[in-house]
Amino acid sequence: MSEPSSLRLYIRQVWGFSTYSVPKVLANLDLGIRNGSTLFCTGMLRLLSLFRRQNPGFREVPEAGESPLWLLLCQRMADDALWKRPELCLDVLSRELRTNRTTLTRLYRAHGTTFARDLRERRISFILDQLEGDSSLLLEPLFYEAGYRNYSTGWRQFRRVTGVSPSVYLENMRGR
| CA neighbor of 168 nearest in space, from 146, 135, 145 | 135
How far from chain centre, in Å, is Cα 146?
11
Mean pLDDT of 91-102: 93
Kindly report the backbone phi and psi dihedral angles of residue 110, in degrees, each rounded to the nearest multiple of 5, phi listed first: -65, -25
pLDDT at 116: 93
% of residues, the chain, pLDDT over 90: 31
| pLDDT of res. 91 | 94
Q: What pLDDT is recorded for position 98?
A: 92
User: What confidence tens digit (pLDDT) does each residue in 112-164 have?
Assistant: 889 999 999 899 989 988 888 887 888 899 999 999 999 999 999 999 888 89
What kind and span of H or E run contains 163?
Answer: none
Give me the DSSP letters along 60-129: --BPTT--HHHHHHHHHHHHS-GGG-TT--HHHHHHHTTS-HHHHHHHHHHTT--HHHHHHHHHHHHHHH
38 CB-near residues (< 8 Å, 6+ apart): 32, 162, 163, 164
CA-CA distance, 84 to 69, in Å (whole number)?
20
65: pLDDT confidence band, cut at 50, 70 and 90?
low
Task: List Cα–Cα distances, 170 to 38, 39, 81, 132, 163, in angstroms.
Answer: 16, 15, 25, 9, 13
166 contacts: CB under 8 Å, gap ≥ 6 = 127, 139, 155, 158, 159
Model confidence pLDDT, tens digit, residues 125-135 = 899 888 888 87
